[in-house]
């Protein structure tokens, strides 16, 4: 250990030294928990691991993190490991608790963050360090998702939001030339578009992440909190109104199975690679879905890809309209990022956080269509219709309840079950009552 520290001290560049010194000044409680307090203030050299989920963060951004980290922390390296979103909660549960092998920095779904902050899985982001990373400029709803007991633990990583992608040609052919102005109009339009071979709105029965927009739009809530006691509020009249509207729309507009999830919806509105016609006229998807939609074209590497909706007479987008017009509140997608409480190299982990929250990286996120955590750099998303619709819907977006047991509700697929039963035509009021009784104890971690 001693030898390592010597090496670290000698090789530490001025940049690292300066950064680490700021870290020391800032972290009051943090230093006490670091395994090897360092006299000089330089971070001990080591290899740290960052977990990113799915393919959401593009390769060039990952490479930038690895290269920049190596440059700014001579002698240290960054390894990025990709995890799948589906098994993330069980993996984090075991890996973060492992004192010897915990990943140092992890990306976590914004809705899953509260579960882990509540049990002390993450290292505290001290007020000074929080200021350094962006402070009040950071997306507040995501910061709140990562707070516990008045302290910051998980920071926003990026935000996304969902809007509607539709086949303008198919809508026009059906005699609908204007995009809907209210949610009721939307439901009527997509029902009118449906034929045996075409879903007016291709949405799966288990797809609650898109489905809860109908709840939010009707003024409903999934759960409310009184002090620290959470209550599932599916039986709230507004929530029921939203669920019933969704049920009516699913039955009248979607040909998808009641068991289908939020998965590769673009396959429905694209024409098939063999020229077969599209089987969906409308889908709801995150902004980045654009690059999987369009006509076939060949990219620079000679691969056949979709052209990103180049033909705007054929493909177009709109924001899901609200009940009384305007924009409906949709589910705020996105993720948080946090340092593991068991990180062996917390100072290096903090250095990585500094790179992630640097203007350069924030702008790169925007350039890749991911909403940057720091609102100063939102303009990097661009100003075309995709960017403006994304920002407009994101401003109206809502998060799922920040209850300690929310990750358990998601992990156990409770909402998938509920929405499948609603899609199958079940009695919404009775189902709401049944699932309120199931979900309330889970929300409180019982």
Partner 1 sequence: MATITAHGTQEVRQRRKPAAPYLLLIPAVAVLLLGLGYPVYWQIVTSFQEFGLAQQFGSAPPTFAGLDNYARIFSDSTAFAVVVRSIIFCLVNAGLTVILGLAFALLMRAVHGWAKVVLQIALLLAWATPVIAAVTVFRWLFNDQYGVINWLLVKMGLTGFRGHVWTATPLSFFLVATIIIVWMSVPFVALSLFAGLTQVNDELLEAARIDGANKTQILWRIIMPLVRPVLAIVLLLQIIWDLRVFAQIKLLQDAGAPIAETNLLGNFIYDLGMNRNNFGGAAAVAIFVLLLTVVLSAPYVRSLLKEDES
List the one residue from 25, 37, 120, 272 that touches partner 1 (CB under 8 A). 120
- Classified as helix, coil or strand, 73 is coil
Nearer to partner 1 (CB atom), residue 68 or residue 115? 115
| Alpha-carbon torsion angle 158, 151, 111, 436, nearest 10 | -160
Task: Measure Cα distances from 70 to 22, 63, 336, 432 in Å.
Answer: 19, 11, 23, 52
The reply to whether 316 sits near partner 1 by the rule CB under 8 A is no
**Six-digit token string for 106:** 């992890």
Nearer to partner 1 (CB atom), residue 369 or residue 404? 404
The reply to whether 119 sits near partner 1 by the rule CB under 8 A is yes
The reply to whether 442 sits near partner 1 by the rule CB under 8 A is yes
The reply to whether 352 sits near partner 1 by the rule CB under 8 A is no
Count the residues of the shown chain that bind partner 1, applying the rule CB under 8 A. 31
Nearer to partner 1 (CB atom), residue 138 or residue 281? 281
User: Segment contacting partner 1 (CB under 8 A): 92-100, 184-192, 241-249, 353-361?
Assistant: 92-100
User: Segment contacting partner 1 (CB under 8 A): 15-23, 119-127, 132-140, 322-330?
Assistant: 119-127
Q: Minimum distance from CB of 230 to partner 1 (Å)?
A: 15
Sign of the dihedral through C-alpha 321, 325, 326, 332: negative
User: Segment contacting partner 1 (CB under 8 A): 62-70, 93-101, 103-111, 379-387?
Assistant: 93-101
The reply to whether 195 sits near partner 1 by the rule CB under 8 A is no
In contact, 6 and 40? CB cutoff 8 Å: no
Alpha carbons 48 and 312: distance in angstroms, whole number: 45
Q: What part of residues 203-262 is at the interface with partner 1 (CB under 8 A)?
A: 204, 206, 255, 257-261
List the one residue from 83, 115, 126, 245 that touches partner 1 (CB under 8 A). 115
The reply to whether 325 sits near partner 1 by the rule CB under 8 A is no
Q: What part of residues 252-291 is at the interface with partner 1 (CB under 8 A)?
A: 255, 257-261
List the one residue from 411, 428, 432, 439 that touches partner 1 (CB under 8 A). 411
Nearer to partner 1 (CB atom), residue 258 or residue 358? 258
The reply to whether 96 sits near partner 1 by the rule CB under 8 A is yes
Q: Minimum distance from CB of 158 to partner 1 (Å)?
A: 25
User: Segment contacting partner 1 (CB under 8 A): 5-13, 49-57, 83-91, 367-375?
Assistant: 83-91
User: Segment contacting partner 1 (CB under 8 A): 13-21, 90-98, 182-190, 270-278?
Assistant: 90-98
Contacts of 331 (CB under 8 A, 6+ apart): 162, 209, 210, 212, 213, 216, 397, 398, 399, 400
φ/ψ of residue 291, rounded to 5: -75, 0
List the one residue from 341, 365, 390, 443 that touches partner 1 (CB under 8 A). 341
φ/ψ of residue 82, rounded to 5: -90, 130
DSSP for 230-277 reads EEE-TTSHHHHHHHHHHHHHHHHH--S-TT--S--THHHHSPPTTSPP
Alpha carbons 350 and 345: distance in angstroms, whole number: 9
Q: Minimum distance from CB of 95 to partner 1 (Å)?
A: 11
Alpha carbons 330 and 213: distance in angstroms, whole number: 5
Using CB atoms within 10 A of its CB, is residue 37 exposed (0-12), middle (13-18) or buried (19+)?
exposed
User: Segment contacting partner 1 (CB under 8 A): 66-74, 221-229, 306-314, 408-416?
Assistant: 408-416
**Pairing status of strand 77-83 against strand 47-53:** parallel
Task: Measure Cα distances from 109 to 83, 88, 116, 295, 335 in Å.
Answer: 12, 9, 11, 32, 4
Q: Which residues pair with 242 in a beta bridge?
A: none
- Classified as helix, coil or strand, 135 is helix
Residues binding partner 1 (CB under 8 A): 86, 89-90, 93, 96-97, 115-116, 118-121, 204, 206, 255, 257-261, 341, 408, 411-413, 416-417, 420-421, 442, 445
């Amino acid at each position: 250990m001693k030898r390592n520290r010597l090496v670290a001290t000698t090789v530490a560049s001025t940049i690292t030294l300066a950064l680490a010194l700021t870290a020391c000044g800032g972290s009051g409680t943090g230093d006490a928990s670091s395994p090897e307090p360092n006299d000089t203030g330089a971070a001990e050299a080591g290899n740290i691991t960052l977990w990113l989920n799915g393919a959401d963060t593009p390769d060039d951004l990952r490479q930038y993190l690895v290269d920049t980290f190596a440059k700014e922390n001579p002698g240290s390296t960054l390894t990025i490991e990709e995890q799948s979103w589906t098994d993330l909660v069980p993996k984090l549960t075991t890996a973060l608790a492992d004192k010897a092998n915990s990943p140092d920095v992890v990306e976590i779904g914004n809705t899953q963050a509260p579960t882990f902050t509540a049990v002390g899985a993450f290292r505290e982001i001290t007020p000074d360090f929080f200021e350094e990373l962006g402070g009040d400029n950071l997306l507040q709803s995501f910061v709140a998702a990562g707070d516990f007991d008045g302290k910051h633990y998980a920071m926003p990583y990026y935000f996304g939001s969902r809007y509607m992608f539709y086949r303008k040609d198919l809508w026009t052919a059906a005699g609908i030339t204007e995009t809907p102005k209210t949610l009721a109009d939307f439901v009527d339009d997509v029902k009118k578009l449906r034929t045996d071979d075409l879903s007016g709105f291709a949405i799966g029965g288990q797809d609650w992440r898109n489905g809860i927009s109908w709840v939010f739009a009707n003024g409903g809530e999934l759960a409310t909190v009184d002090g620290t006691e959470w209550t599932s509020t599916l039986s709230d009249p507004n929530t029921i109104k939203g669920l019933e509207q969704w049920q009516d729309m699913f039955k009248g507009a979607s040909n998808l199975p009641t068991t289908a999830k939020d998965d590769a919806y673009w396959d429905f509105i694209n024409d098939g690679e063999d020229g077969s016609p599209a089987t969906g006229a409308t889908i709801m998807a995150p902004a980045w879905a654009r690059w999987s939609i369009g006509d076939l074209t060949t990219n620079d590497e000679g691969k056949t890809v979709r052209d990103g909706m180049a033909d705007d007479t054929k493909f177009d987008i709109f924001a899901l309209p609200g009940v009384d017009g305007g924009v409906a509140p949709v589910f705020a997608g996105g993720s948080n990022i946090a340092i593991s409480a068991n990180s062996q190299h917390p100072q290096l982990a903090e250095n990585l956080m500094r790179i992630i929250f640097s203007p350069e990286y924030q702008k790169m996120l925007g350039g890749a269509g991911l909403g940057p955590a720091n609102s100063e750099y939102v303009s990097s998303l661009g100003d075309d219709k995709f960017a403006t619709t994304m920002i407009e819907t994101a401003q109206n977006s809502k998060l799922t309840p920040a209850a300690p047991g929310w990750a358990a509700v998601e992990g156990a697929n409770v909402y998938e079950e509920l929405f499948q039963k609603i899609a199958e035509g079940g009695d919404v009021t009775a189902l709401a009552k049944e699932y309120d009784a199931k979900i309330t104890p889970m929300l409180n971690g019982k």
